[in-house]
A = this chain, B = another copy of it.
């Protein structure tokens, strides 16, 4: 199919820095929306994909799945968008649209596998998808979100991954007024979980391993902060929480958090994919009907719901804006958790000479 070239930032190999390159975007099909990307958030998955940490990266790789921009063109069958509209794209750009998951607005659990915004396989071009570290993106309108116009646009970008990843489990496990919610970890995901759970009128606790985050956590929506390395503090919240959103992206012992679940409560892993070690002990789970679960981003309708909710509640991510050319330094800082709480690339910088 016909295509055109756009500027992007990507990498040719796991060990290589990201650098400017040209990539192809398909011509807009009748159902496509073409978006000029204004801002793109920087997610840990971007870095893992660029460096092939999970295996399976196809090179060249162009990361970026927290995309906001302005519509520049629409296909003739597009009904939701017109040129000039604000628009956003998250982690998915396509799915089968026919399976039971897709029909139930759960495209993230598409039984035939959704198409990732990057490192997926574009059904139209047959090659890998390229993410938001680029000038433009062309996406089926079903996977394009409307952006509330009252929000600070760069701060919206991280809602598309960090926001929906924490919103979906809060909604699925029915968090609302009076719910007791805890959040493990205060990074990109964790700070969004605090904001969203607070806005849902839950009583919100942050678990942190280190003191010194209390003030920031409370500004972000936490009612309480528990230092998880302090036994007395952990004892004080034993059996308390209805839902725990565990955002920690590396292996860690979840048993101490299970102990803080109320009976019938659920701990939801959203950051760590791997073996649970130390081993999970089932005894407190049986004795208190507790669950350990996982959750993956959210469906398109749910993502729109989250964006609309953020518009109503004036919620955006706390961000640090960077230039595209600073992405390699940003990755290094991200590995040291040296960001409060999300880098967002000002894509106008891509127009500068690299």
Contact = CB atoms under 8 A, between A and B. Distances in A.
B266 A276 contact: no
Contact of A274 (B277, B282, B288): B282
B291 A282 contact: no
Interface string A279-309: 1111111111111111110000000000000
A1 to B, nearest CB: 30
A274 B280 contact: no
A118 to B, nearest CB: 17
Contacts of A106: 263-264
A284 B293 CA distance: 10
A275 interface: yes
A276 B279 contact: yes
A161 interface: no
A269 B283 CA distance: 9
A10 B266 CA distance: 39
Contacts of A286: 269-270, 272-273, 294-296
A273 B281 CA distance: 7
Contacts of A270: 286
A280 B291 CA distance: 13
Interface in A247-282: 263-264, 266, 269-270, 272-277, 279-282
A315 to B, nearest CB: 23
Count this chain's copies in the assembly.
2
A213 to B, nearest CB: 25
A237 interface: no
Nearest to A286: B294
A289 B296 contact: yes
Contacts of A279: 275-277, 279-280
A219 interface: no
A281 B292 contact: no
Contacts of A275: 279-282
Given A239-B111, A263-B101, A172 B285 contact: no
Contacts of A291: 266, 291-294
B294 A109 contact: no
A176 B81 CA distance: 41
Nearest to A54: B283
Interface of A: 101, 106, 109, 111, 172, 239, 263-264, 266, 269-270, 272-277, 279-296
A277 B276 CA distance: 10
A276 B290 CA distance: 14
B109 A264 contact: yes
A263 B294 contact: no
A281 B280 CA distance: 10
Nearest to A172: B289
A281 B287 contact: no
B276 A283 contact: no
A80 B300 CA distance: 53
Given A273-B287, A285-B293, 9 more contacts: A101-B263, A109-B289, A275-B281, A275-B282, A276-B276, A276-B282, A286-B296, A287-B294, A288-B296
A246 to B, nearest CB: 10
Residue with the greatest number of chain B CB neighbours at <10 A, chosen from A272, A281, A282, A289:
A282
A42 to B, nearest CB: 21
Contacts of A266: 291, 293
Nearest to A280: B276
